[in-house]
A and B are shown apart, each in its own frame.
Chain A
Amino acid sequence: MARNEGGSPILSQQLLLGVAEELKLPLLQIARQAEQGRLTGQTDLRLIQETADGALRLLDNYALGVRLALDPEHLALESVSVSSVLYNTGQQLDALAKNYGVELELNIAGRFGPVLAHRQGLEAALVSLGAALIEGLPAQDSPQLKLQLATHRSRYGIVAGLYADTKQLSSQALQSGRRLQRRSRQPLVNLSHTSGAGVFVADTILKAMDLHLVASRHHRLYGLGTVLQPNNQLHLV
């Protein structure tokens, strides 16, 4: 088990268990879609491929979180455009969002200078978070299935996150989920019907980069994201 400087567990067996539980869902979807195809003679290969891609992405992001936490010395920071990271995140989540009937919106209006970050880690955290929210939103009986990838300035820095019209995206839900992660198979009970592993993988990756997963408001929407510090030196250059 890796530990951060404060000595608290970064990578826990609970997270690994959560990822394992989470992976059951896409594997089950693939198995049943294949069975359905065998029974009807019509197999939706595109859906099977996209479902498998989603599972691989979760595994990749988990592995990245482990690597970053185990070897923070090699965390290569670079000047990163938040808008570009959000755009790439949206591209990676597009197929999943369509399959779940969730409308994905990109709101990167405004000029934001570069931030100093680990691009791959930041993208992986946002993709993990987004995938978990996309799968969780339709299960909330919510009439509005929209998820917005957005960035805005706050007094703490530049916030990049994912926002929806649901009050369940709150710091209370996040804190309660972190506490329950050790004891419950459904720690984010108001957000997700699964283990919510994508949220905790995002949490782990951000922690490894000395960032934090936080609740945030944007316009009238509720969301989760992270606060990034503008890289003023590079901005001047």
Chain B
Amino acid sequence: MADILLIEPDRLLADTYLQALAMAGHSVGVCVGAQAAIMVADQTKPDLVVLELQLTSHSGIEFLYEFRSYPEWQKIPVVVQSHVPVTEFADSWDLLNKELGVVAYLYKPQTSLDKLVKTVNQQLAVKA
């Protein structure tokens, strides 16, 4: 079992992802925005973050910069699961992967719950 921080702005999708991850045995904290996510991360010390990049007010990229600025959070894997296709980051994948620690990128419309859970478990296994 791991502590997952799920940053998902849509309430209905967040409920569905939460249930799927909880069924896989994980403890899940849900935040709709970047600011709240930083506070929740401080309280819950997550083992892994699942992040949507399109958030209200502050983007997922802004969250990543803030998140990685704290030494204790630099090695926590981040799985991006977003409405934004990964092809839009073709030129900046190195930035996302190497500098901001995005270990996997899932395009939301093509990601089943099963695939999300498998990806999360794989990344947790790599971390361990």
A-side interface residues toward B, CB under 8 Å? 21, 24-25, 27-29, 32-33, 35-36, 39-40, 47, 51, 99-101, 135-136, 138-141, 185-186, 189-194
Q: Contacts A100-B11, A100-B12, A139-B33 hold; do A186 and B113 have CB atoms under 8 A apart?
A: no
Complex contact A190–B109 (CB within 8 A): no
Q: In the complex, how many residues of chain B place their beta carbon closer than 8 angstroms to a beta carbon of chain A?
A: 27
Say if the beta carbon of B44 comes within 8 Å of chain A: no
Rounded to whole Å, the gap between the CB of A8 and the closest CB of chain B is: 28
Query: Which residues from chain A contact B109 at a C-beta distance below 8 Å?
Result: 24, 27-28
Q: Which residues of B contact A (CB under 8 A)?
A: 9-13, 16-17, 19-20, 23, 32-33, 35-36, 52, 54-57, 59, 83-84, 108-109, 112-114
A contact residues around B114 at 8 Å (CB):
35, 39
Q: Summarize A's interface: helix, strand, loop or mixed.
A: helix
Given contacts A36-B20, A100-B11, contact A193 B56 (CB under 8 A): yes
CB <8 Å contact, A101 and B11: yes
Task: Report the separation of the CA atoms of residues A86 and B112 in the bound assembly, to the nearest whole angstrom.
Answer: 39
User: What is the minimal beta-carbon distance from B23 to any residue of chain A, in angstroms?
Assistant: 7
B32's contact among A21, A47, A141, A190, by CB below 8 Å, is which?
A141
Write out the residue numbers on chain A whose beta carbons fall within 8 Å of the beta carbon of B19: 36, 40
Assuming the contacts A32-B13, A39-B20, A186-B54, asked whether A24 and B33 have C-beta atoms less than 8 A apart, the reply is: no
Question: Chain A contacts of B12 at CB under 8 A?
Answer: 29, 33, 47, 51, 99-100
